Structure 1
């Protein structure tokens, strides 16, 4: 005869098992089926994975066994691993979307998620490296963070965050028409590099040669079909310049705030100004400037200005013209060998060496952004007084 009370305690314990991709308890995802317990305390538990070959299968089964075995009264645990039916998967995706249309863009004007696009006027200023480390630094502060690698032609985020296996970017899991992004250092990440067999170890180059319409559809799919869940912050790493992707992002996320990355070199700052101007033309607000490669610290404590000085301050002053609020220089990130090495190995410097001057400046910036309140003014809360 089954012990119903013990079965209920086991189900409660399984509520502590989190699906590593969806980041919700498996009991909330209807992944736990029947739980049978005999008079001797032997438990037979059925779990239902989202898809065949689910990459999280091993960790979920292990965590189920441990949670059940830790329940007082359980003497033995057997786990029967099954796969959801098509109808069960559809019900899951509908529930995760919370009633939102299957093709609706996430993080619209009513979302409480802070959306930052990180842009630059030209390549080679370290925009992606700064974005990757900033995302990880925000996640380390306990925030729920998503990162969209919108630099379709020059994607680098998977490599910078270590989302690479055998030289190829880790691929997302697809449940029906919903894409579950891989997670690196607490950050949910999506990149076009995850959808093509492109080695990231430099052995073979694979070019993405797409024009405007295809680029727009790709970015739109990232914002509709990728399940990020409830995020505190979403970062988008934009390609340099003022091309199709920047315009598409402006159309899809006109309420996003813009972080402009430049080096101290005046020529780079002048080009970076254009990306901020284009963002404003699409309705976005330039929130601030990040100056990267701001000098190389010397053993005697002095700074060697390899790329000049003053570019960040000059850019923030020029971008402040035409806005109701000034555009501050948020951070000046110094040159750092450790920062570069972290990008090469997929281990962000904010984790590997937080005392490094570049890491310390990015962590300071993360603290500043994390402390911004999320206002409810003008937001639809989805509640009724009737």
Structure 2
């Protein structure tokens, strides 16, 4: 957000017939809402300069998040319309600038805060870290990364929720070996539970997975869902508002391919969500994943990093074969300005374990893929997104906010 106060140069002299002030102009600009971030341009610090001449010419410079912002003309028209309605204005000149990296970060944080303020209540605690696992296209192993990361986090003694948001193409039940239907009482759904032994400290409480998927609601995994976008969105909303998730450290959401209704609904309902982008070394996967990252940022969702799956096949002889090319993860990370945090090797045991309901992270840590998944979990839990109870006073503030908001949940 800009620290520069708008300047009032050549302000109308005392006694002028034009009672035009900077405060009056700023007042009407408060009503100009960024069409993408849904926050006033003044709150976002986008008004970087404001000049008023003796003749009533108002010059406004708008600092855009990117110079090529496709919505800049819409913002310009709104600014002109608001200012032209003030008495004493003879002309409005709108210029464009571009935010610095720091200003962009501050603007996005403000937008995320506003989205949280306006979000409908869900059963997901304010102290739960929400991580959407996305790829943009199928076949890159996104669901496999979700399941194995969830299991590896739970193996650290953490409580982890897994939401299979791929309503059409659900695969989480098979990958975790769960066949039980969902149950519940009082109109609320109880997720399926898996206890996971604590590998960090066997004497400490075990971790656990709380799992919800459309696969637990259909007759069998071959049943087709003939649903349109609106119904899919309502299914996601029900999983967030009607499932008793409990006090989770993490909620991992296995996102469907693409950038459609489900992605936008998630950003609206869980504005605290952050994204982990999964790709492969192939350029085709990298290009599609870049669009997912762009969608995330347009929805105020921070991209915490990139995981390159199936990076290379390591033969028993120790030789490495890059079957899907090389460099896709690093290229994507550079393009979207996010770190490449892990490269998962291509290993037959991963796909075999997924088919048999045994995540690779459940196996011997000597296996390359299992080791990589547990290292990814360590990075997430200790560096990228540590559980909020480990993050100092932030958690206490969120708990107070959640408690203050709790009476609203009871309102019909």
TM-score after normalising by structure 1: 0.66
Structure 1: runs of 5 or more not aligned: 1-102, 165-169, 321-326
1:241–1:275 contact (8 Å) kept in structure 2: yes
Matches of 1:157 and 1:114, distance apart in 2: 20
CA distance in 1, matches of 2:365, 2:269: 35
Q: Which segments of structure 1 move beyond 2 Å, counting only runs of 4 or more?
A: 372-380
Please give the residue correspondences for 1:75-114 in structure 2 after superposition, counting only pairs within 5 Å. 104-107=121-124, 111-114=126-129
* SS state at 1:142 partner: coil
TM-score, normalised via structure 2 length: 0.62
Report the equivalent of 1:348.
359
Q: Which of 260, 271, 275 is equivalent to 2:292? A: 275
Root mean square deviation of aligned Cα: 1.6
Q: Secondary structure at 1:153's aligned position in 2?
A: coil
Take 2:346 and 2:214, find their aligned partners in 1: how far apart are those partners? 28
* 1:362 and 2:373 correspond: yes
Alpha-carbon distance, 1:380 to partner: 5.0
Task: Report the CA distance between 1:335 and its aligned residue.
Answer: 0.5
Aligned match of 2:23: none
For structure 2, the 5+ residue unaligned runs are 1-119, 197-207, 405-412
**Larger Cα Rg: Structure 1 or Structure 2?**
2
Residue 342 of structure 1 aligns to a residue whose secondary structure is helix
Superposed, 1:261-300 pairs within 5 Å as 261-300=278-317
**Secondary structure of 2:398's aligned partner:** coil
Mapped contact 1:172–1:179 kept (Cα < 8 A): yes
Following the alignment from structure 1 to structure 2, what is the Cα–Cα distance between the partners of residues 304 and 208? 39
Give per-residue Cα distances to partners, 1:1-40, cap 9 Å, x unaligned. Answer: xxxxxxxxxxxxxxxxxxxxxxxxxxxxxxxxxxxxxxxx
Separation (CA, whole Å) in 1 of partners of 2:184 and 2:153: 26
Q: Measure, in 1, the Cα distance between the counterparts of 2:236 and 2:270.
A: 11
Deviation at 1:107, TM superposition (A): 3.0
1:149-164 aligned within 5 A: 149-164=164-179
Q: Which moved more, 1:305-314 or 1:176-185?
A: 176-185
Displacement of 1:266 after TM fit? 1.2
Q: Are 2:216 and 1:194 aligned?
A: yes
The number of equivalent residue pairs is 264
CA offsets, 1:136-191, max 9 Å, x none? Answer: 11001000100000000100000000002xxxxx1111111111111134210000
